[in-house]
Amino acid sequence: MGWWQLEGDMVNGDTPADIMGPAVDKIIKVYEEEWNRKPYRAELEAVLNFVTLPDMVEPEPEPTKKRKYTGIGFPETQICGVDCDCDQCQSEQEQTVVR
């Protein structure tokens, strides 16, 4: 499965898209049957917000620690969060202190 970076620590991937595609198709069908039109983007966003309870998703992007990303849009190195203790981050922190 491919993953790609959106912004900061936010990512998207093929499998989440594969899951959402048929669900959105079903929602579109219901709007066409009931309202004789496709849903507006704001309506799709509203239904997603309605069904995702606050404890089901992160409210803001959290730094991802020690996870090696692969796929389009990702370097072949791990992207670490704040206060990471991996060798690369420790080296960068030491360089920052020396400057």
Structure confidence at residue 91 (pLDDT) = 58
Could you state, in chain order, the average pLDDT of each consecutive group of 10 residues for the chain (99 residues)?
A: 81 91 96 97 91 75 57 54 59 48
Q: What is the DSSP string of 29-66?
A: HHHHHHHSSPPPHHHHHHHHHHHS-GGGS-SS-----S
What is residue 23's three-state secondary structure?
helix
**Spatial separation of the C-alpha atoms in residues 69 and 73, rounded to whole Å:** 9
User: What is the pTM (predicted TM-score) of this model?
Assistant: 0.56
| Burial class for 37, CB neighbours closer than 10 Å (0-12, 13-18, 19+) | exposed
Read off the tokens for 35. 């309202």
In the chain, where are the structural domains located? 1-62, 63-99
